[in-house]
Amino acid sequence: MSNFVKILVVENKFEADLVSQALRKEGIPVMIKGFSDTAYDGIYIPQKGWAAIMIPEECKALGGEVVAEFKEAFRRRKEAGDEVKK
């Protein structure tokens, strides 16, 4: 069993789904570790984020490239004036 490492912290489920889909498309196993705490009704999500995207340590280099491409595409779309919802 591989050690999973955090590659990205996402702000919501939509972002988690998009990033995990991109990683899986490249053949990288993904685990999403949520930060929600039912006892506090999500009060810490704005500080900590919604979840961490975790991938196997040996996939970290390729995963980093995929995440960088995702962030760049998201940034370009936002600068182009497309409405991006969180």
Instruction: Tell me if the domain spanning 4-79 has CATH number 1.10.10.
Output: no
Q: Averaged over 49-73, what is the pLDDT?
A: 94
Q: Kindly list the distances between the CA atom of residue 34 and the CA atoms of 3, 16, 46, 54, in Å, as whole numbers in the listed order.
A: 18, 10, 13, 11
- Asked whether the beta carbons of 41 and 47 are under 8 A apart, the reply is no
What does pLDDT average to over the chain? 86
State residue 43's pLDDT score: 64
- Asked whether the beta carbons of 83 and 64 are under 8 A apart, the reply is no
3-class SS of residue 1: coil
Q: Is the dihedral angle over the CA atoms 76, 69, 24, 42 positive or is it negative?
A: negative
pLDDT more than 90, % of the chain: 58
State residue 4's pLDDT score: 97
Give pLDDT tens digits for 28-59. 999 999 887 666 666 666 667 889 999 999 99
